[in-house]
Structure 1
Amino acid sequence: MLEEIVKYLNLSVAFLPGLIGIYAYRHFSKSIKLFFYYIILSLLTESGLWLLANYHLNNIWLINIFTIAEAVLITAFLIKTSDSRRLRYLLLGLLLTYMMTWIYSNFHLSNLFEFNSGDKFIKGTLMILGCGLTLLNYSSSYQKSLLKDSTFWILTGLLFYFGLTLVIFSTATWVFDDSTMGMQLTWVVHNIIAIITNIFFSIGFICSIPKKSLSY
C-alpha cells in the first residue's frame, strides 16, 4: 500500500518542475534551459518506467539508458554553469570516465536488462564530485542571496539526490534480492528522495521568474 502511494505521488510531483519550467522557460538562462531539457527527459523516462511496470515488463533497460543520458545532460549543465576553465575540463573528464565505465559495465560485466549496482555507485560518486565542485565554484563567485538563485537550488537538489541514492543504489543488489521486501523498500525510499528533489528543482525554476510576472 505504502509503495503504491509513494510511487504515484512521485510520478505526480515529477511533473511539477516540468510544468513550472514550461511557464518560466522564457526567463531561463542558457544553463537553466539545459537543465530543463534534463527534466523533460526525466518525465518521459518516469512515464515509460511506470507504463512498463504496469504491464509487468522489464524496465531496467530504460533505467540503464537513462543513466548515461542523465550524466551527459547534467554534465553539460555543470559545464555551462562553471566559469572556471579548469573545472570545465575536469567535469568533461569525469563524464568521459563514466561513459567508458557505463559501456564496460552494461556490455561486458552484465547487460542492459540487469540492474548494475557498481555502475550506479561510480556514477553517483562522479556526480557528487562534479556537482559539489560546481556548487563551491558558483557559490564563491555569487554576490546575491543564494536562496533566491535558480542555479543554487538546482545544484543543491542534485547533490541531495545523488548523495542519498548513492548509498541506496550501490548496495541494493548486494543486500537485497529483487524478490524481497527489502528491495521494494529501497525503491520506496528512492521515490521519497525523488519527491523532495523535484521540490528543490521547482523552487529553482520559480526563482527564475521575475517578481512582476508572479504578481499577475
Structure 2
Amino acid sequence: MINSFLIWLLDYVQYILILPISIAIFRFRFLTKELKVIWYFLLMSVFFEVLSRTLLYLKFQNTLSLLHLYTVLEFINFGLFYHIVLGNFFSKKLIPNTIICFTLFAIINAFFIQKLDNFNTYASGIESILIIGLSLMCFYKMLIELDTRNPTKQPVFWINSGLLFYFAGSLFIFILSNFIKSDNHLLSLAWGMHAFLMVILHIFISIGLWLSPRR
C-alpha cells in the first residue's frame, strides 16, 4: 500500500506548491529579507514546473536539461538564504565562494560529464552535501546565540529543518538511483520517496512563512 502511495504521489506532488505560495502571498508584507528569498525560490519552482509540463505537452520528451539549470538556481537561492541568516557568524566570503564553485562544477558536469540529456546526480548530490553542511551551521549558530527560548516559533528553524530533512533524504536517493537504473519499479519507488520528501519540505516552509514576524 505504501508503494502504491509513493508512486501515486509522483503525479500530484507539484500541487503542494499551492500551500506555501498561498501563505507567502497572504503574509507577504511580513516577510523578512531571508523569507523573501524563499518566496523567490517558490516562484522559480512554479516557473520550472509549468515550463517542464509545457515542453512535455509539446512532445519534447527529454526535459532533463532544465534540471541542470534548476539545480544551479536552487542552490543559489538557498545559498543566499543562508548567507543572510548566518550573517557575520562565519566568514562572509564562505557562501558566495561556495556558490561560485558549485556553479562552475555544475556547468562542467552538464557539458562534459553528465551531459544535458542525463540526470545530474553528481551536481544534485554535491548540492545536497553543501545544503546539509549549511543547515548544520545554521543550527549551530542558533544553539550558540540562544536568542530565543522557543526556537520552534522562529521561521528559520522550520525552513532550516525542512531543508536538512529534504536534502539528507535526497542525497541517499541520488546515490541509490545510480545503482537501480535498470529496475523501473525500484526507481519509481525511490522517486516516490523523493516526492514525499518534497511534500515535507514545503510543509515546513509553509510553517516558517506563516510564522513570519509581524512588524
Matched with 2:153 is: 148
Is residue 10 of structure 1 aligned with residue 5 of structure 2? no
The yes-or-no answer on 1:40 pairing with 2:43 is yes
Partner of 1:20: 23
CA RMSD of aligned residues (A): 2.2
What is the alpha-carbon distance in structure 2 between the residues aligned to residue 17 and residue 3 of structure 1?
Answer: 21
Map 1:65-214 to 2 at 5 A.
65-84=69-88, 86-144=90-148, 145-177=150-182, 180-208=184-212, 210=214
* Inter-CA distance 146–87: structure 2 relative to 1 (3 Å threshold): farther
2:33 matched residue in structure 1? 30
Q: In terms of mean alpha carbon deviation, does 98-107 or 81-90 score higher?
A: 81-90
* Cα distance in 2 for residues equivalent to 1:32 and 1:87: 22
The alpha-carbon deviation at position 176 of structure 1 amounts to: 2.1
Q: Distance in 2 between matches of 1:5 and 1:136?
A: 37
Q: Structure 2 unaligned segments of length 5 or more: list them.
A: none
TM-score (norm 2): 0.88
Aligned counterpart in structure 2 of residue 60 of structure 1, from 58, 61, 64: 64
Which 5+ residue runs of structure 1 have no aligned equivalent?
Answer: none
Instruction: After TM superposition, give the deviation of residue 90 of structure 1 in Å.
Output: 1.9
CA positional deviation for 1:152: 1.1
Q: How many residues align?
A: 210
Change (3 A) 1:158 1:102: same
Once the two structures are superposed, what CA deviation does each residue of 1:139-165 show, in whole Å capped at 9, x if it has no partner?
Answer: 432422211111111111111111110
- Aligned equivalents of 1:125, 1:25: Cα separation in 2: 31
| Higher-RCO chain (CA-CA 8 Å, sequence separation at least 6) | 2
Structure 1 residue 56, shift from structure 2 partner:
6.6
1:189 counterpart SS class: helix
Is structure 2 residue 58 aligned with structure 1 residue 49? Answer: no
Percent identity between the two aligned chains? 23
Look up the SS of the partner of 1:21 in the other structure.
Answer: helix
Counterpart contact for 1:79–1:88, Cα < 8 Å: yes
TM-score, normalised relative to structure 1: 0.87
Summarize the Cα distance change of 1:88–1:158 in structure 2 as closer, same or farther, 3 Å threshold: farther
Greater helix fraction, Structure 1 or Structure 2: 1
SS in 1 for 2:117: coil
